Amino acid sequence: MDVSRKILSSFFEPESLAVIGSLREGFFGGRVVVQALLNAGFKGKIYPVHPSYKEILGRKVFSSIKDVSAKVDLALIITGNQAVPDLLRECAEKGVKAAIVVSDGFAERDEKGAILQREIVEIARQEGIRILGPNTAGVANPRIGLTTSPYLAGYDQIKAGGIAIGAQTGMINPQAFPYFDLHYGVSKICDFGNKCDVDECDLLEYLGRDPATKVIALYLESVGDGRRFLNVSREISASKPVLLLKSGRTKEGARVSASHTGSLAANDQIFSAACKQAGVLRLEKFNDLFEIPKLFASQPLPKGNRMAIISYTGAVGVLATDEGATYGLTVPSLSPHTASKLHAIFPGLGMTIVDIGPLMVVARDSDSFYQEILATVLEDDHVDCLFNVLWAGPMEGSSEIYFKTYEVLKRNHSKPIATWIYGPRSPLISTLGQRLEDLGFPVFSDLEMAVKALGMAWQYARRKKERE
């Protein structure tokens, strides 16, 4: 396992990086990568490689990687597919141990491409190089300003955080998801591409020991080595949640996903049972991949399955209860002490769902009431976690009450909180969401997603308990 760890370090923590291939202007290519690295403040060395440029973006261009005199940890190859074998051999001569092959036209295209892919795997094995890809946009590690995606993203930085995302698709790369606008905190991103060499097991082993990674979210269409995957997952999920979205769940999906997923997809129920055994939490929808990890990355685990709900309306409470029940969550009756405290604040706040709607309409000084209600509910021994609903009203400064309350909570809360914000103006919802995310509280895009995150946290916590 230490070998994987060490090799994958070259992909995620390189001190030097060669960018081999097209350097022309545009929204795709090596120039985009070099610019993105500069924008993100990459501290390592960058070596653009191209036979016919002398300089781009103030950096010297090398005509071959062999002309770089310093050590190169990672090579990024963005060329036509036919050029890849020779370039890999040159990388090997140079002593490079890790290569990201962005080029497409391999097994994903046709039989000729599949032959070429087998050829580069052969080279990699012979020369002792590990390959990520081909047909990938590579990796990102925001802590060191590393991003290898050759597509223009339109923003400079991804926030450093605890979530690692690995996927057999480019849909997780910086150009495909608004990491920046959502103030989304990432430890590592890994696009497996065709997975000819580095795969989900290698990544899991690396991330399992990566101190920056608190939760691992995977999207897979196929699992290369099912047994190894389950073994590695079992080990890692003991200390870090492993969340998996696997497509090809249905016969239709498996058929479309075709050759490479056929075998496992046909046995999705068996695979699902195996995942459960191995402690892997299965996701259902594409957005789950981005949303569910947020709770694990920032909140403590719940100690039990009792979810308190604070809401502006009863309906949201009932919908949240329905959703929670499917994950084994129950909405407790609050303790008599809590109930009487809440009643003293405002009659009718509720003994199960805490409906603050009527209070917030009439209360002149709702600020202090609000903080007190949250603290009271969270202190209740009957409560293990909280689903909190915020209304982002259109009145000037009306979101401050939430921000102030969460600022106080941040200093001292031991129960997970999942937040959903609704309201009449999209920008107000986004802005408040970003501020709370920056405070370390996950905000979810819909109410059921928030509850699902708590539900999956409970499932993970329960399994951990059972293992102890």
Question: Which of helix, strand or coil describes residue 158?
Answer: coil
CB 410 within 8 A of CB 441: yes
Instruction: State the DSSP H helix or E strand holding residue 325, giving kind and residue range, or none if neither.
Output: helix 314-325
State which of positions 82-141 bind its own copies (CB under 8 A). Answer: 104, 108-110
| Residue 41 near its own copies by CB under 8 A | no
Run of H or E residues at 217: strand 215-220
CB of 362 to its own copies, least distance (A): 8
Integer Cα distance of 324 and 385 in angstroms: 11
Interaction residues for its own copies, span 238-257 (CB under 8 A): 247-253, 255-257
Contacts with 231 (C-beta within 8 Å, 6 or more apart), sequence order = 278
352 binds its own copies (CB under 8 A): yes
| Smallest separation (angstroms) from its own copies to the CB of 219 | 7
Q: Look at residues 70, 77, 78 and name the one whose alpha carbon lies nearest to residue 94.
A: 70
For every residue of 280-298, DSSP letters joined together read EEEP-STTHHHHHHHHHHH
Closest separation between CB of residue 293 and its own copies, Å?
A: 16
- Residues from 301 through 320 that contact its own copies (CB under 8 A): 313-319
> Rounded CA gap, 298 and 92, in Å?
41
Which of these segments, 46-54, 56-64, 337-345, 440-448, binds its own copies (CB under 8 A)? 440-448
Q: Which tokens hold the place of 143? A: 């802590």
Residue 60 lies near its own copies (rule: CB under 8 A): no
Distance CA 42, CA 143 (A): 9
> Could you tell me where the DSSP H helices lie in 238-281?
251-257, 262-266, 268-278
CA distance 39 to 16: 16
19 beta partners = 48, 76
Give the residue with the Cβ less far from its own copies, 41 or 154: 154
Provide, rounded to whole angstroms, the least separation between the CB of residue 361 and its own copies.
5
Whole-number Å distance between alpha carbons of 462 and 277 = 13
Quick check: 432 binds its own copies (CB under 8 A)?
A: no
Q: Determine which residue in the list 100, 153, 242, 417 makes contact with its own copies, applying CB under 8 A.
A: 153
- Smallest separation (angstroms) from its own copies to the CB of 283: 11
Residue type, 325: A
Instruction: Name the minimum Å distance from CB 339 to its own copies.
Output: 14
Residue 35, interface with its own copies (CB under 8 A)? no
Are 291 and 453 within 8 A, CB to CB? yes
Does 403 participate in binding its own copies (rule CB under 8 A)? no
Applying CB under 8 A, among 34, 201, 218, 331 the residue interacting with its own copies is: 331
- Give the residue with the Cβ less far from its own copies, 95 or 314: 314
Residue 124 or 331: the one with the smaller Cβ distance to its own copies is 331
Binding characters for its own copies, 255-274, by CB under 8 A (x = yes): xxx---x-------------
Asked if 168 contacts 147 with a C-beta cutoff of 8 angstroms, the reply is no
- Residue 201: alpha-carbon gap to chain centroid: 17
Stretch that binds its own copies, among 54-62, 84-92, 390-398, 405-413 (CB under 8 A): 390-398
Residue 327 touches its own copies, criterion: CB under 8 A:
no
| 438: contact with its own copies by CB under 8 A | no
Q: Dihedral sign, CA of 200, 204, 210, 212?
A: positive
Within 188-247, the residues that bind its own copies by CB under 8 A are 219, 221, 247
CB of 330 to its own copies, least distance (A): 6
Q: Please report how close the Cβ of residue 281 comes to its own copies at its closest, in angstroms.
A: 18
Number of residues that bind its own copies (CB under 8 A): 79
Please report, to the nearest 10 degrees, the dihedral formed by the alpha carbons of residues 251, 255, 260, 263 taken in order.
40
Judged by CB under 8 A, the stretch of 49-57, 87-95, 117-125, 322-330 that binds its own copies is 322-330
Check residue 180 for interaction with its own copies (CB under 8 A). yes
CB of 416 to its own copies, least distance (A): 19
Instruction: Verify binding: residue 353, its own copies, rule CB under 8 A.
Output: yes
Among all chains, which residue has been given the structure tokens 């994958």?
8
Indicate the residue among 20 and 245 with the shorter CB distance to its own copies.
245
* Distance (Å, whole) CA 221 – CA 202: 16
Q: Binding of its own copies at residue 356 (CB under 8 A)?
A: no
Residue 433: which of 447, 446, 419 has the closest Cα?
419
Rounded least distance, CB 364 to its own copies, Å = 10
Binding segment for its own copies (CB under 8 A), chosen from 3-11, 210-218, 370-378, 425-433, is: 425-433
